[in-house]
Amino acid sequence: MLEGFNRWFCCLVILLLAGCASSVDCNVVSFHSLEEPHGERVRLVHKDPAKTGGPEFKHYAAQIAPVLAKVGYRPLTSPDTDLVFEIGYGVGPGPEEITRLPRCSMRYHFRPHEPGGPLYYGMQCFDTGVEIREKFVHFLELKVRRAGEGQPVVYEGMVHGLDASANLSVMMPYLIAALFDEFPGVSGEVRSVTIDRSARPDK
């Protein structure tokens, strides 16, 4: 009976821990003088011009373009645009996540020679150690400038998110969704944006 309860309790702990990963929390900060979008034509480039034509950039640009359209811009591939959106991205080591692993059992008090069986006395838990999981910091940064030579930057923004996976392509849809949530946002404000993993943020 006690072994069955212990197995049930361990399963509950695992489900609770898994529930913590059901969403992605991102921090977004931006500084800008950019007005609300009104159908401006935009072109996406990598912050390193040599990478603009690369397959990785094209993969991420294809995810960003429909989000820009939903926000109110007109993404184009031609150089004849009103704004240039310059992006950068990457992943690096983050803080470790430490979880304590309890082991619990039911406690009973037995009274000899008394009918009714044992009396429930409570639950007792012991700390059996810790689980250490490595986390990774994923980021997406954006600069927006007016099209044309020597035009100033009118928007600078960045979003960070933590994940147990170092695979940036897994996190990128959530970073994009967080960055363009209420875009362009309040200049100088740091916002926390939570994205549900069960949703498709790129759809």
DSSP string, the chain: -HHHHHHHHHHHHHHHHHHTTSEEEEEEEEEE-PPPPSS-EEEEEESSGGGTTSHHHHHHHHHHHHHHHHHT-EEESSS--SEEEEEEEEEEE-PPEEEEEEEEEEEEE--TT-TT-PEEEEEEEEEEEEEEE--EEEEEEEEEEESSTTPPEEEEEEEEEEES---HHHHHHHHHHHHTTTTT--TT-EEEEEEETTS-TT-
Report yes or no on 10 lying in a domain. Answer: no
Report yes or no on 8 lying in a domain. Answer: no
* Residuewise pLDDT in 10s, the chain (203 residues): 434 433 433 333 333 344 446 888 999 999 999 999 999 999 999 999 999 989 999 999 999 999 999 999 999 988 889 999 999 999 998 776 666 666 666 555 555 555 555 555 556 666 666 666 788 999 999 999 999 888 999 999 999 999 888 999 999 999 999 999 999 999 999 999 998 877 655 55
Domain hosting 118: range is 97-132
Same domain as 154, residue 80? yes
Same domain as 152, residue 88? yes
Same domain as 105, residue 43? no
Q: What is the pLDDT of residue 135?
A: 85
Same domain as 28, residue 77? yes
Report yes or no on 18 lying in a domain. Answer: no
Same domain as 44, residue 33? yes
Same domain as 142, residue 114? no
Same domain as 139, residue 69? yes
Same domain as 84, residue 158? yes
Q: Domain end: 83, 117, 132, which one?
A: 132
Same domain as 63, residue 110? no
Report yes or no on 9 lying in a domain. Answer: no
Q: Domain end: 132, 157, 185, which one?
A: 132
Our count of domains for the chain comes to: 2
Q: What is the pTM of this model?
A: 0.72
Report yes or no on 203 lying in a domain. Answer: no
Same domain as 179, residue 111? no
Report yes or no on 17 lying in a domain. Answer: no
